Amino acid sequence: MSVSNPTDSHWVRPRGRIVLRGGHVVDAREEAPRRADVAVEDGVVAEIGDVAPRTGDEVLDSTGRLVMPGLVDAHSHTDGLLGDESVQRSLLRQGVTSVITGQDGVSYAPGDGAYGSECFAAINGPHPTYPGGGVAAYLATVDGASRLNAAYLVPAGTVRSVVCGRSREAADASQLASMVGLVADGLREGAVGLSTGLDYVPGIFQTTQEIAALSVPVARAGGVYVSHMRGGYEANSAAGIDEIVSIARFASEHVAGNGLRVHVSHFHADADIVLKQLDTLDAAGVDATFDAYPYIRGCSLLGMPLLPPELAVQPVDEVVQALSDPAERARLRRDWFPRVERNPSLGPDWPHMITFAHLAAPQLGWAHGLTIAQAAARAGTDPIDFALDAMRDCRLRTNVIMAVQTPRPVSELARIFEHPHHMGGSDGIFIGAHPHPRARGTFAQYLRTYVRETGTWSWADAAHHLSFRPATRFGLGRRGVIEPGAVADIIVVDPDSVADAATYDEPLHDAVGIDDVLVAGIPVLAGGELTAMPQGRLPGRGLRRS
């Protein structure tokens, strides 16, 4: 396995070397930062130590700061937003230089991109340049078009939609063979694994047997099966973990010598539950990792908890028509919303626990940042009617922030983050006027809270959890380390000031304390601002398996 060389033809090269002088290098494999200069040339780290600048070198004074490998967001929803400069700036200000996209089983490739754009319109948004086709075509849209790198997971729900359309039935043998072929094609074209979203449509209709079959080519390629587990996590986590064990065993039995590597997305639950279920995976012999973010509240599509899956899977026009039908609305109120009230993650107080982050209908802009209960009261209606009206008027393009029944303190989250299989993933959604702050704050909050303030991690631990481990796990080439020959994705961190600034009340603030970032040896953030460079000649690229 490898990734394309950072000296490909689209790369912009500095006129000479760049020397980062006076800083302390953080290495995930060493106990403490060490004082050293770093010279970067032709996209890679050329020298570490006491480096004397040559004539023509560009010198970046890093005195008093930490020189770290660029961070990797193991769960990103920037699939269609990598060219957006505000998104690039927000991630770079957190130290993120590479993202793993194609999450939760839904994205653009393979196929024409229409299903991903429709189903996840309020999460990933439409893609501005994806021409249709497959994984290779998607990854090509990243090359030279962003300051960030992106790897891609083949999304199992999108694969199912290409082959089975809107069907809720189990795939037959012919359909399953076609789906397996699409996954294998995606891996050959550079995908790093397969993702599922088993609480979303169409993933909620995919059987364990179907997913297990799709995982066979993943095991054969040495990729990673990434799962948004079935059943809502929390107290239901055991069922999701048991399903992962079954899938891993099936794939491993069908690929001689290659066990299926798995990764659990946004594994949020009581720390005792998380740690117990990770022990279950270990005991079953499953090679497993997971990501989690340092926030209590979640964020998703409004339709996921508030619409029955058999309705949500239908084309948007049909769902909008149903939400406009008084008889259908009465049926939902009578038959479906009592189930919403029994949802253990929400309960009968659900109107007070769900806050609007994105409403695509301009006339509803006033409701951003309000709970459903607050918005309904202002509109003079009840929460069920307001929620159904919002989904109808927005054509389902609405995402929300969801509170939890039992908030967890930093000390409990720290127990989860200390686990050796943990890595950082923001699950950040940038679409919305009042988004979840995790999009702009996750990685800076890790560094502020769990390194500087609580000492949960050392700086080397942070480099391990947030850079080295995800880069290694997902096969991103020589990233996640600062050593001669490594790709020069480098961040310069002020250890005393790095912090998240986004909050639930004011979620649009970028992080502080990371002002200088290089991607493949090219300065992309300098003095806290994006550097100017020709469009189409930016250093980010689609990270491919080969």
Q: Residue 342 is part of which domain span?
A: 300-402
Cβ-count burial 87-113 (b if 16+ within 10 Å, e if not): bbbbbbbbbbbbbbbbbbbbbbbbbeb
Taking residues 411-426, what's their average pLDDT? 98
- What confidence score (pLDDT) does residue 534 get? 85
The helix/strand/coil state of 257 is: coil
Q: Which amino acid is at 537?
A: R
The helix/strand/coil state of 317 is: helix
| Confidence class for position 1, pLDDT limits 50, 70, 90 | very low
Instruction: Output the pTM of the full model.
Output: 0.96
- What confidence score (pLDDT) does residue 12 get? 52
User: Position of tokens 């109120």?
Assistant: 333
Structural domain contains residue 360 = yes
pLDDT in tens, 219-263: 999 999 999 999 889 889 999 999 999 999 999 999 988 899 999
pLDDT in tens, 333-343: 999 999 999 98
Main-chain dihedrals φ then ψ at residue 104, nearest 5 degrees: 60, 20
Q: Are 530 and 139 in contact (CB under 8 A)?
A: no
Numbers of helices and strands, H then E, in the chain: 20, 22
| Confidence class for position 5, pLDDT limits 50, 70, 90 | very low
Residue-wise DSSP of 117-149: HHHTTTTT---SS--SB-HHHHHHHHTTT-SSE
* Tally of domains within the chain: 1
Structural domain contains residue 107 = no
Structural domain contains residue 330 = yes
pLDDT in tens, 57-101: 999 999 999 999 999 999 999 999 999 999 999 999 999 999 999
- Distance between CA atoms of residues 541 and 133, nearest Å: 18
Residues in a beta bridge with 400: 300, 356
DSSP state letter for 260: P
Structural domain contains residue 370 = yes
The helix/strand/coil state of 305 is: helix
Structural domain contains residue 117 = no
CB atoms within 10 A of CB 117: 19
Both ends of the chain: CA-CA distance in Å?
Answer: 5
- Distance between CA atoms of residues 119 and 416, nearest Å: 31
Structural domain contains residue 252 = no
Structural domain contains residue 345 = yes
Closest CA to 415 of 238, 289, 272: 272
- pLDDT above 90: percentage of residues in the chain: 92
Structural domain contains residue 142 = no
